[in-house]
Amino acid sequence: MKKRFVSMFLAAVMAGTMVAAVPVMAEEATEAATEAAAAATDVDLSDKKVGVCIYQFSDNFMTLFRTELENYLVELGFSKDNITIVDGVNDQATQSGQIDSFIADKVDVLIINPVNSSSAATITDKVVEAGIPLVYINREPDADEEARWEENNWNVTYVGCDARQSGTFQGELIADLGLDAIDKNGNGKVDYIMIEGDPENVDAQYRTEFSVKALEDAGLEVNELDDQVGNWDQATAQQLVANSLSQYGNDVEVVFCNNDAMALGALQSIEAAGRTVGEDIYLVGVDALSEALEDVLAGTMTGTVFNDHFSQSHSAADAAVRYLTGEGNEHYIGCDYVKVTKDNAQDVLDMVK
Ligand code: BGC
């Protein structure tokens, strides 16, 4: 799927004016591909080597991301044989070794989803030293690290969405229900449990903070019953939510999960505890995985937030091309999340499926 196609689609989804126009979309896609290829006329991308490091292949969201990234790089003119995508198996030492191999192989550009964003400075130093342009994705290095790229005018950038926005959208999905609907135990507060992703990841930190902030900003009083680390993982979250539900019982009114994989795990435990989403408990995630969108449509999830892997992977590939053509990039390339309720879940599902 091409960038312009996706952004047009998203604009329609966000505006709630989605109309099915498949032939027009296909035409747009071809047009956008031609434009992208034209932008790179002076450089033959087909012989450029791209190294891609993913923190962990088994992550559902990063699987969507890397699949789309590879497809789009090929559409832009890279040869599939010259794109190497490796699995960091959630181990920084493994990933650092993979980066060393890519440097030894003299790849032309690197796209890196770091295992630990705190290792970014070390990664940047060796990649810059090797003269290879670098595009970080999904796990944002800290502000000091990003400032170094700017100060030294290095060919290093980050592509991602602002996780504060996704947290805010999660909070709003709950706040919009109104206190009367949420406050089953009648204590005048929103009693919630929070299941966090990897705490080193700024996405987890911001989603946690801003989902609660959005409730408070809406004038609601909040009561945190439990806050646990589920490391983005469904099975871990299932266990954690089962524990919280058995400890706090019917007092749990809302379950916030930093991503959909964990929300799917939470839902298994909510159902096993005999609770019903939409009736006596509410559940939100982030990513818009197709399974979660099916749940939103069925009412078994209150809502989710679309983490646009199309836009992020395309922007990362486009940034890589701009380094190869010598055009260069800003040191931060952002994108928007989309709030998903029953009203637009089908449109988003049609797009991600
Ligand atoms: C996604 C998670 C994913 C994580 C990986 C987040 O943006 O929402 O599902 O596990 O990125 O870093």
Q: Residue 243's closest CA among 219, 225, 259, 218?
A: 225
C-alpha 26, offset from chain centre: 25
Distance 34 CA to ligand 1 centre (A): 31
Distance 144 CA to ligand 1 centre (A): 22
CA 287 – ligand 1 centroid, Å:
8
CA-nearest residue for atom 10, ligand 1, is: 232
Task: Provide the residue-wise pLDDT of the chain in tens; the chain has 353 residues.
Answer: 434 344 445 555 554 444 333 333 333 444 454 455 545 457 999 999 999 999 999 999 999 999 999 999 999 999 999 999 999 999 999 999 999 999 999 999 999 999 999 999 999 999 999 999 999 999 999 999 999 999 999 999 999 999 999 999 999 999 999 999 999 999 999 999 999 999 989 999 999 999 999 999 999 999 999 999 999 999 999 999 999 999 999 999 999 999 999 999 999 999 999 999 999 999 999 999 999 999 999 999 999 999 999 999 999 999 999 999 999 999 999 999 999 999 999 999 999 98
Strands 282-284 and 50-54: unpaired
Amino acid at site 240: L
CB 157 within 8 A of CB 149: yes
Ligand 1 residue neighbourhood (C-beta within 6 Å) = 59, 61-62, 138-139, 197, 201, 203, 232, 259, 261, 286-287, 307
Of the chain, the end-to-end C-alpha distance in Å amounts to 12
Question: CA 122 → CA 102, 216, 321, distances in Å?
Answer: 15, 39, 24
Give the residue from 219, 194, 192, 220 showing the smallest Cα distance to 207. Answer: 194
Give CA–CA dist 141/87, Å, rounded: 19
> Which atom of ligand 1 is found nearest the CA of 307?
8
Distance CA 275, CA 255 (A): 12
Cα 186 to middle of ligand 1, angstroms = 34
pTM of the model: 0.90
Residue of 53, 56, 59, 236 to test ligand 1 pocket, by largest number of atoms within 8 Å of CB: 59
DSSP lists the bridge partners of residue 51 as: 84, 110
Nearest CA-CA partner of 283 in 263, 262, 298 = 263
Q: Which residues pair with 109 in a beta bridge?
A: 50
- Is 192 within 8 Å of 220 (Cβ atoms)? no
Candidate from 54, 56, 61 with most ligand 1 atoms within 8 A of CB, to mutate: 61
Ligand 1 center to 300 CA (angstroms): 22
Ligand 1 geometric centre to CA of 139 (Å): 8
Amino acid type, 285: G
Give which of 348, 240, 251 is closest to 304, Cα–Cα: 348
Which tokens is 17 given?
């004016």
For residue 232, the CA-to-ligand 1 centroid distance in Å is 7
d(CA 201, CA 139): 6
Question: Of all protein residues, whose CA lies closest to atom 11 belonging to ligand 1?
Answer: 138
